[in-house]
C-alpha cells in the first residue's frame, strides 16, 4: 500500500505553512475562519485565472475527458434533450453524502481552501461532504506538480475511491475555491454547460479560431440520453461554462460568445468565483431538495452582475510530452492502457 492509500488511516497534516490546522482527514480542528462571500454565489465576478490557454491533449474528448470515444458519443446523441446533469440514480451519491479525505501534498492554507469550497455546497445544497468513514465510495483530493493540468475529476459517483487531482504549482493558482468547485460539480454529476444540445440558441462558435480537431472534441453540442438540465435555462455564468477564448489558436481570439441578444452575459462566461444560483438550483433539483435555495426551474435567466475586474479562466491544454498519473492509484484500468477506464475531466 503506498503513502496515499495509507492516508485514509494515518495522513496527519505535516505541512509547515498556513494558518489553520487540520486533522488527518482535512477536517478543521480549530474554529473555522471567516470566508468572505462564502454564500454570495450568484452568477458572480471572476476571481481566478489560468494564464495558459494553448495547452491541450488532442487525444481527449472535449480536451479534458478521459475514457470516451467521440464516435461513441456522436452515435448516442439525443438532440431533443437539453442537458448537462446525469439522470442515472446509480451515478448519484446516496443521500447526497460524499465521504472525502485530503491526501498529503497540500499545505494548511490549501487544505483550508478545499474545506471552504466544500462548505459552499453544504450551506446551500443538500450535498454534504463527510470526513472519510467506512463507506467504500469516497473521493480523495490529491496534489500534483503538473504544469499541464489544473484539476481533473470523474463525473458522478462511479464506485470505490475517486480522485480529485489539483496542481499545487505555486504560480498556477489551481487550488482556488472556483477551480475546486468546478471539479466538485463534476463529482456531484454535472458536465460542462456549453455542451447542452440547446447551446446554439445562445452562443456562437468561431471555428476559424479553432483547430478542426479542437472543434470536434471540445465544442460539440451533445446530449447523451443519460443527462438532463432539470428545466433550468442556459447559464452563461455557470461555473461549468467555458470562457470566450477557450482553446483559441492564439490564446486571445474568441472561440465562443453569446449571440447578440445575449451579449450582456459575455463578461461572466468562464467565471470561477463560485457556484451560480442556477448551479445551486440544479444540484438541489438533482438531489431532490429544492427548498435549499438557488434558482428555480422554468424561470427566465436572471440579468448578469456587474462586469468583472479580471479575465475569465481559460481551459488548459496539455503538452504532448505530459503523461497521466498511473500506477496503483489509478483504479479500473481494465484494458491496461495506462489510463483509468472511468471518465475523468480536466479543467
- Please indicate, yes or no, if residue 29 is contained in any of the structural domains: no
Cα dihedral angle (319, 325, 327, 332), rounded to 10 degrees? Answer: -100
How many domains, in total, are found in the chain? 1
Tens-digit pLDDT profile for residues 180-196: 999 999 999 888 898 88
Return the closest-CA partner of residue 275 out of 34, 94, 32, 38. 38
212 inside domain: yes
pLDDT above 60 for 282: yes
Q: What is the CATH number of the domain that holds 190?
A: 3.40.390.10
* Residues spanned by the domain of 277: 38-346
Report DSSP state, residue 71.
H
Q: Is residue 19 part of a domain?
A: no
Q: What is the pLDDT of residue 314?
A: 53
**Confidence at residue 300, expressed as pLDDT on a 0 to 100 scale:** 87
Given the residues 62, 183, 193, 266, the one annotated as active site? 183
Ligand-binding site membership of 342 (annotated): no
- Give the bridge partners for 22, in sequence order: 28
Place of cell 471552504: 116
Position 18 in a domain: no
**Residue 320 covered by a domain:** yes
Residue 27 lies in a domain: no
Q: Compute the residue count for the chain.
A: 347
HSE toward the beta carbon, residue 216, CA cutoff 13 A: 12
Judge whether 183 counts as a catalytic residue.
yes
pLDDT digits (tens, 9 = 90+) for 215-234: 767 787 765 555 678 889 99
Q: What is the pLDDT of residues 70-110, one digit of tens each?
A: 554 444 444 444 456 776 788 899 999 999 999 999 999 99
CA 162 to chain centre: 14
Where would I find the beta strands (DSSP E) of 18-64?
none
H or E element, residue 216 = helix 212-218
In a domain, 20, yes or no: no
Q: Is 182 annotated as a binding residue?
A: yes
Among candidate residues 193, 164, 169, 195, the one with its CA nearest the CA of residue 180: 164
Amino acid at each position: 500500500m503506498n503513502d496515499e492509500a495509507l492516508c485514509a488511516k494515518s495522513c496527519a497534516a505535516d505541512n509547515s505553512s498556513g494558518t489553520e490546522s487540520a486533522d488527518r482527514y482535512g477536517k478543521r480542528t480549530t474554529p473555522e475562519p471567516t470566508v468572505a462571500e462564502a454564500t454570495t454565489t450568484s452568477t458572480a465576478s471572476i476571481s481566478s485565472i489560468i494564464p495558459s490557454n494553448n495547452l491541450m491533449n488532442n487525444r481527449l474528448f472535449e480536451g479534458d475527458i478521459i475514457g470516451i470515444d467521440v464516435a461513441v458519443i456522436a452515435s448516442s446523441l439525443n438532440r431533443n434533450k437539453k442537458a448537462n446533469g446525469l439522470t442515472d440514480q446509480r451515478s448519484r451519491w446516496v443521500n447526497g453524502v460524499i465521504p472525502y479525505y485530503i491526501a498529503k501534498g497540500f499545505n494548511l492554507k490549501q487544505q483550508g481552501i478545499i474545506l471552504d469550497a466544500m462548505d459552499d455546497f453544504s450551506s446551500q445544497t443538500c450535498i454534504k461532504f463527510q470526513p472519510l468513514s467506512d463507506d467504500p465510495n469516497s473521493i480523495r483530493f490529491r496534489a500534483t506538480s503538473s504544469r499541464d493540468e489544473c484539476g481533473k475529476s470523474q463525473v458522478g459517483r462511479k464506485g470505490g475511491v475517486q480522485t480529485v487531482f489539483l496542481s499545487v504549482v505555486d504560480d498556477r493558482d489551481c487550488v482556488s475555491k472556483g477551480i475546486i468547485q468546478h471539479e466538485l460539480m463534476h463529482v456531484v454529476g454535472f458536465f460542462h454547460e456549453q455542451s447542452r444540445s440547446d447551446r446554439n440558441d445562445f452562443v456562437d462558435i468561431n471555428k476559424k479560431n479553432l483547430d478542426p480537431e479542437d472543434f470536434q472534441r471540445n465544442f460539440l453540442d451533445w446530449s447523451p440520453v443519460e443527462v438532463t438540465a432539470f428545466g433550468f435555462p442556459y447559464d452563461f455564468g455557470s461555473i461549468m461554462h467555458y470562457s470566450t477564448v477557450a482553446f483559441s489558436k492564439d490564446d486571445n481570439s474568441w472561440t465562443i460568445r453569446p449571440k447578440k441578444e445575449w451579449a450582456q452575459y459575455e463578461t461572466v462566461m468562464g467565471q470561477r468565483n463560485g457556484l451560480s444560483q442556477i448551479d445551486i438550483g440544479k444540484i438541489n433539483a438533482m438531489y431532490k431538495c429544492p427548498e435549499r435555495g438557488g434558482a428555480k426551474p422554468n424561470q427566465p435567466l436572471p440579468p448578469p452582475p456587474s462586469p468583472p475586474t479580471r479575465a475569465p479562466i481559460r481551459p488548459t491544454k496539455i503538452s504532448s510530452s505530459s503523461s497521466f498519473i498511473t500506477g496503483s492509484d489509478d483504479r479500473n484500468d481494465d484494458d491496461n492502457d495506462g489510463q483509468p477506464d472511468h471518465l475523468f475531466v480536466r479543467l
